[in-house]
Chains A and B, each alone.
Chain A
Amino acid sequence: MKINLRINGQSRQFLIEPNEYLLDVLRKNDYLSVRRGCDNTSCGVCTVLIDNKPVPSCSVLAARCENKEITTVEGIEKEVEKLAKYFGELGADQCGYCNPSMALTVYSLKLENKNANIEEVKEYLVGNLCRCTGYVAQHEAIMKYLGDES
């Protein structure tokens, strides 16, 4: 079947199987920043924004995304540059496999509640697991990013 999506502001049409998940459709079509981590929505690595809400793409049927606005990390490059700078400053970078998905979730939080306190940040991002950093440096970087008015 055919579906129409808007990905990072561009209209795309894909030929898909009715049972295909959005994650697989995106990766097949070279949106490689969207990655697989766990298969059952537990890790958050496959997060994309659907109409600006973070969603694990491993469990969304692509067929249900007709005419939806999908954002991958390539669609928010300016914001990523800011966030990545704070990650660098605070030593929050490690393997980075989850970083594009985290950037998307953080960006979505900023849209919803840019005055979020650290507890709200943790709550919002709880579905984004990280096995490398111990989280603390990430939170410091995210707080700085949220406070950045530039």
Chain B
Amino acid sequence: MKVVNNLTHSIDGMGIMKGRKAFTDDFAEKDTLIVKVMRSPYAYAKILKINDSEARKLEGIEMVLTHKDFKRIPFTRAGQGYPEPSPHDKFVLDEYVRYIGDEVLAVVGRSDEICDKALSLIKVEYEVLEPVLDFETAKDNPIVIHPENEIHEMFDIGFEPKRNIAASYAMEIGDVKKTLSECEYVIKETFYTQAQAHVMLEPHTVNARMDYQNRLCIYSATQTPFHVRRIISQGLEIPLSKIRVIKPRVGGGFGGKQAIHGEMLVAYVTYKTNKPAKMIYSRKEVFESSYSRHPMRIEMTLGADKDGKLKAINCEGLSDTGAYGEHALTVFMVTGSKVLPLYNKVDSVRFAGDIVYTNHTPAGAFRGYGAIQGNFALESAVDILCKKMKMDPILFRQINMMKEKETSPIFAIMGEGTAGTAMIMETCKLEECIEKGMELIGWKDKYPRIESKDKIRSVGMAIAMQGSGIPYIDMGSATIKLNDDGFYNLMVGATEIGQGSDTVLTQIAAEELMTTVDKVVIYSSDTDLTPFDVGAYASSTTYISGNAVWKAAKELKEKMIVEAARILKTNIENIDFDGKTFTNRVSGEKITLVDLSNQITYSHEQKQLQVTSSYVGHKSPPPFMAGFVEIEIDKATYEIDILHYVSVVDCGTTINPMLAKGQVDGAIVQGLGMAHFEEVIYGANGKLISSDLLNYKIPTRLDIKKLTTVFVDSYEETGPFGAKSVGEIGIDTPPAALANAVANALGVRITTLPITSEKIFKEMRRINDEK
């Protein structure tokens, strides 16, 4: 392979760094209406009266929008395919506000300042209701967060709003209770994970205008332009054919931009007024009023026999979806489906739980969703079990984990929101990942700890798996067109959001067409111009969209060979093509691609050669990885210094090795953020206090000492040029690896994220007090 798996610079890095017009707000109209939202100061309240007469009189104020302006059409902002596995429980604006930061009303005016002034003049009377702020008391609480009757599920997801249940799920293979009763060793532990924030640096941004065909044209910083178009159409009753959604460059998403945020209000304003409108979330709004990762409580019970064979897993979860149920079920299911198959040799496994409403900021999609929560619980629990059995945790994993050519019955039972798809692990290099990782971190010398006078150094590890798209649901497509002068256009619905998919998809096309990346010009994504793609989520782009591109390139090549055979007066079987020249193998006659393309464009038997292909996965081959962390803990303060993180990844072929490494490095640091740095703080009234970057600390460059990321040789037959996904897998291991390293250092087990010095200190004191 010449292009794939070789050093290729990102195709757009140079232009982006030069500051060329690229991001959503760069395309906002100069003379535009500004849309600003009044946010609820109460965690739960009913709006009784809105006095906006003074605001409406202000010069420059175009409209004040309240719930009375909108027809009551419930929808979900989740940004999923249709029908969505999330409850339709949200109105554009509602008479109830369900968390601090929820939308009360919107003002539309000529400038930010006028909008701010209008907001200050509006008086809202509320009936303040008692909120549900503790997710462990939400289920069957007498306070019902969604009392309205119009809301509904699209199919059975266990939606019971009168009980504050957004969704629920249960499955059991074998008989967990019975298997556990027969086990020599049983451990049970409860874990808690926090509402991590995405902190993509570009805030949620959208702008709209009516174009010269009187269609609504929206630029949006979204991961899912086609879903955005559909949801706007359904929610505002605007014909789908009247809406165009353009996704320009996106400044990071990580799942946060899978959902609809300002799009509904901005689309409504422009459609109603025929004037351009825009909305940019403030950083506070991004924290408080978009969505976060689902906080969870996970009770993990493991049982093993006397030889250290894992026999049973019982995983009971409770997930807090906040005020609205975006991704309630799907995130929770991943906590089972992309975590528990890691240990596939058990006799029994059970996974069950509820996803409940609370009066907190909603939770939604976030890189590694469900998996990072489940991985923290399972991989921590494995080390706890090993300690009880006095067994080496690496050896335990080597005995019990998934191996190549094996499977797990969980794959067939659990999908994302629906039943799953049975599959064999055609590639699973976990054994090699562990071996290599041990070597790179120096496990044998450092495990479990090295103590000096003031410090303790230790290591910890965890293994993980992810998926590659959602089988039979996620669809990607690509159009490739041959131009005169022999270069190509590649149009994809796949959504570049900074992860490098435009570069990777260009490489796939270039490799198949035996050309160079500069001869393939990619464009993503625009609902008018590019073919459908579900968007950037579920680790699907390289595998699903990449397969669509590969297929389209192969088909275009066939079409070009047909033309070459016609021109060279022979059968297609006699044509050789090397990317530049077609040769008649029998006569030796040749025609270059440049000449062929010019001829069919301008002079003889003219036609446009173009192919559109689609791909739907029939399986979701998991990437695997082993993550190892080395830390140093101060004996007096328990300050944790993360010295080194080693990631050894099996993601099949790395289409672009440097960008793949970037995906893993970036995800590891986000995972370390969840593991150690990113504390989510709520006030007693339910107000999110960690709602800016001063109070919510993401890792800075000083916090990251050393990352070693390597890939093992692996070739997934069903992936494009052997690739699996790599976007999410990196985020899964840091919480458990860090918890295990802390346990190896001090003997304390931290079961709530983030793992901070304070928590270690308190736990050490508790242990000492008990002594």
Contacts and interface: CB of A to CB of B under 8 A. Distances in A.
A91 B659 contact: yes
B701 A132 contact: no
B316 interface: no
Contacts of B17: 73, 80, 83-84, 87, 93, 96, 99-100, 103
Interface in A20-53: 27, 32-40, 42-43, 45
A4 B581 CA distance: 59
A35 B25 CA distance: 9
Contacts of B666: 94, 131-134
A96 B296 CA distance: 32
B229 interface: no
Contact of A89 (B9, B200, B280): B9
B702 A123 contact: yes
Interface in A51-97: 72-74, 77, 80-81, 83-85, 87-97
A33 B201 contact: no
Contacts of A94: 252, 498-500, 662, 666
Given A37-B203, A96-B249, A126 B14 contact: no
B56 to A, nearest CB: 24
Nearest to B285: A39
Interface in A117-133: 122-123, 125-126, 128-133
A80 B18 CA distance: 6
Contacts of A38: 283, 692-693
Chain B interface size range: 35 or more
Contacts of A73: 17-19
B2 to A, nearest CB: 18
Contacts of A88: 9-10, 13-14
B704 interface: yes
Contacts of A131: 198-201, 252, 254, 666, 670, 698
Interface string B532-563: 00000000000000000000000000000000
A14 interface: no
Contacts of B9: 85, 88-89, 93
Nearest to A104: B19
Given A37-B203, A126-B701, A133 B665 contact: yes
Contacts of A123: 702
A144 interface: no
Nearest to B703: A135
A94 B706 CA distance: 19
Given A42-B694, A74-B18, A132-B498, A122 B251 contact: no
Nearest to B8: A88
A97 B698 CA distance: 17
Interface residues of A, number: 54
A139 B13 contact: no
A116 interface: no
B16 to A, nearest CB: 3
A35 B202 contact: yes
Interface string B480-518: 000000000000000001111000000000000000000
Given A43-B693, A91-B658, A135 B701 contact: yes
Given A38-B283, A38-B692, A97 B498 contact: yes
A131 B500 CA distance: 15
A143 interface: no
A39 B19 contact: no
B571 interface: no
A97 B252 contact: yes
B662 A92 contact: yes
A83 B16 CA distance: 12
A49 to B, nearest CB: 13
Given A72-B19, A80-B18, A135-B704, A37 B283 contact: yes
Contacts of A133: 662, 665-666
A82 B284 CA distance: 36
Interface string B675-703: 00000000000000000111000101110
A109 interface: no
Contacts of B180: none
Contacts of A87: 13, 17
B662 A91 contact: yes
B250 interface: yes
A59 to B, nearest CB: 13
Most A Cβ at <10 Å: residue of B23, B199, B500, B665:
B665
A22 to B, nearest CB: 15
Interface string B636-667: 00000000000000000000111101100111
B61 interface: no
A23 to B, nearest CB: 12
Contacts of A92: 662
Given A32-B19, A94-B498, 6 more contacts: A91-B659, A94-B499, A98-B201, A100-B19, A130-B201, A132-B662
14 contacts: A73-B19, A74-B18, A84-B18, A87-B13, A89-B7, A91-B658, A93-B9, A94-B499, A95-B200, A97-B498, A123-B702, A132-B498, A134-B668, A135-B701
Closest 8 CB pairs of A and B: A33-B19, A95-B498, A91-B658, A97-B251, A88-B9, A134-B665, A93-B13, A96-B16
